[in-house]
Structure formats: structure tokens, C-alpha cells
Amino acid sequence: MALIENTEKVNYLNALREAIFEEFELNENFIAIGEDIGLLGGAFGVTDGLQARFGTDRVYDAPISEATIVGTACGLCLNGKRAMVEMQFIDFISCGFDQIVNMVATYHYRTAGEVSIPMVIRGPAGAYGGGALYHSQMNEAWFANSPGLKIVCPSTPADAKGLLKSALRDPNPVIFYEIKELYRKRQIEEPVERGDASLVPLGKAKVRREGSDVTIVTYGQNVYHCLDAANNLKAEGFEAEVIDLRTLVPLDKQTVIESMTKTNRLVVVNEAPRTCGFAGEVLANVAEEAFELLDAPPVRISRMDTPVPWAKPLEMHVLPSVESITEAALRTCRY
């Protein structure tokens, strides 16, 4: 059942929705479980119509208990199902943390590779929308530190659909970060393919803009801040290459290092806090494997080590911005 036409420009949210419907049509073993994902269609509408199409035996409205949701989904996977779990906001994934990192992530290892948990845990994430401290988190570094989990964060509608389809087909658990500020952003709408033509492989970064003077690595909605910063740099005589990681785990180090063979400079941007954030992991990999390519100290731009404030001026002050990225990249280029 097609929700969209090939020629139609699609927003990020509907691209995700199309991916889910396609995969549920293809595999009757798929089940979905989460808070208000059935009758309501999810807090943002990503699962709108899913229960009406596939029934209450496959799309479950769950109690407000993320530990119960993940644990139940894990049990279903152990009994031949493939699970899609929705967190109403990714901030609340912490309530299911034990089940995710101690059960779901470890099953394949604990059974010497005999048992897999084909589960995608997805939900709306990110700041810049005035959601304050409980509805603005990017907590991907928690799960990057938990072996057995893949981590995905798309920035475009085509990648949202293609990466979610690949995640839903993966035999092992994937944490899938959906940027809620991009859900209905009209400026990024684009046509998306249908069926297998839309698939995007996990673990492969994308060069969003080519350049020769500095490599800017990022993901999620910071991709657009970095592209705007690259335009500012161009006005100053510098060409920035912008890389969208798309998948954090596994990390596509090769694309980053290949870019640095041209630019010899690196700036990494993420909206999670600075301390132990994923930007630091990218910098560490470059320092270990491509130190000789650096002509300037690598730089990371991130959220300050503080919760996200509610007041808009304060929120923008603590988060990466086009201006802060531009300034950091200019310092790196002029080093």
C-alpha cells in the first residue's frame, strides 16, 4: 500500500511513515508497541493509520512504562517477531535503559551468536524547538557506549525512509533518532523512492557538500547549520566539505579520513553535551588513525554541559549555531 507517489515531495515525517507501512506489508511478523501509537497514531503522527491497517494484534498501545515496552518487545522478538518500539520522546528512553543495554543489546553476545533481537527503538529527538530539558535531548552517546546496538540519525526525508527500512530489516537492535524539528520542515521536502529502491545502507556517511579547505562532520539537524556555515565560509574565501554521518554506530571513519586527505582540517558538530559527546569520539578516531593529515588542531562544537533551557535566547545560547560553527571553522582555516 503506497502512501505517497514517487514524484511527490515528501516531508521527513511521511517518509518515516511510508517506510513503516512498506515493511509491515512485507513481513507479517512485524509488531509495533508504544504509548498512544495505535488509536492516536503517535504523539507526532508517525504511526497514524498503522493500527487501522494492521490491527491490534500487531500494533499495541502500551502503558506508560518504557521498561515494560522494551521488555515485552524483547520477549516477542525471542518468539519469532520483529519489533518496532516507539518512545514518545527519546528523552524517556532512560526509563527503559536497563532493558535496552543489559538485555536487548547483549542477547547476541550472550548466546554466542545464536539469538538475535531484531528490534528498532525509535523516537523524536533534538532541541531548537523550545521543548526544554525533558523534550530536547540527544542522548546517543549513552548507547554508543553499549556494544550490540547500532545508532542511526537521518537528516533528510530520503535518508529517513531508507535508513529506517534498513534498520527494520537488520537482525540486531537499532536505536533510531528522529529529529522532531525536521518532521514537517517544508524546506527539506524531497521526492523519495518506493520499495527497495529507497533503501540506504547502515554505516555509510554522505558528503552533503564538497570542499577543499576544512571538513565539517555532523548529523541530524546540525547538517543544515553546517551547510549554512559553509556558505558563510565561502564568502570568506574558504570551501568547506560537509559530511553527514547518518549512522553513528557503526561509524564510517573512511569517508571522514578521505575528506581530510583533501582538507587537512576538521570540525565536528553535534547538539549533545560536550563532555563524552559523540563529537569527541570522531575526533579521537581521527587523532588515532589520521593524525598526520592534520594541519590544525581539530575542533568540536556542541551543546554546553547544561540541560536545554526553555527560554529561547538561552536555548540558542547553549546549542551549536551557524555563527559558532562559522567562527570555529574560520579559526581552523586560518590557523
Cβ contact 145:332 at 8 Å:
no
Residue 47 and residue 16 in contact, taking contact as beta carbons nearer than 8 Å: no
Per-residue pLDDT of the chain (335 residues; tens, 9 = 90+): 456 555 589 999 999 999 999 999 999 999 999 999 999 999 999 999 999 999 999 999 999 999 999 999 999 999 999 999 999 999 999 999 999 999 999 999 999 999 999 999 999 999 999 999 999 999 999 999 999 999 999 999 999 999 999 999 999 999 999 999 999 999 999 999 999 999 999 999 999 999 999 999 999 999 999 999 999 999 999 999 999 999 999 999 999 999 999 999 999 999 999 999 999 999 999 999 999 999 999 999 999 999 999 999 999 999 999 999 999 999 999 99
The fold of 9-198 is Rossmann fold (3.40.50)
User: Annotated catalytic sites, by residue?
Assistant: 135
Residues of the chain with CATH 3.40.50.970: 9-198
* Number of Cβ within a 10 Å radius of residue 322: 17
Supply the pTM of this predicted model.
Answer: 0.96
| Segments of the chain assigned to CATH 3.40.50.920 | 206-333
Quote the cell numbers at residue 184.
514537517
Q: Which cell is 44 given?
A: 507526532
Instruction: Name the CATH architecture for the domain at 206-333.
Output: 3-Layer(aba) Sandwich (3.40)
Sequence-ordered alpha helix ranges (H) in the chain: 12-26, 50-54, 66-78, 97-98, 107-110, 140-144, 157-169, 222-235, 253-263, 278-289, 312-318, 322-333
User: For residues 180 and 125, is the Cβ–Cβ distance under 8 A?
Assistant: yes
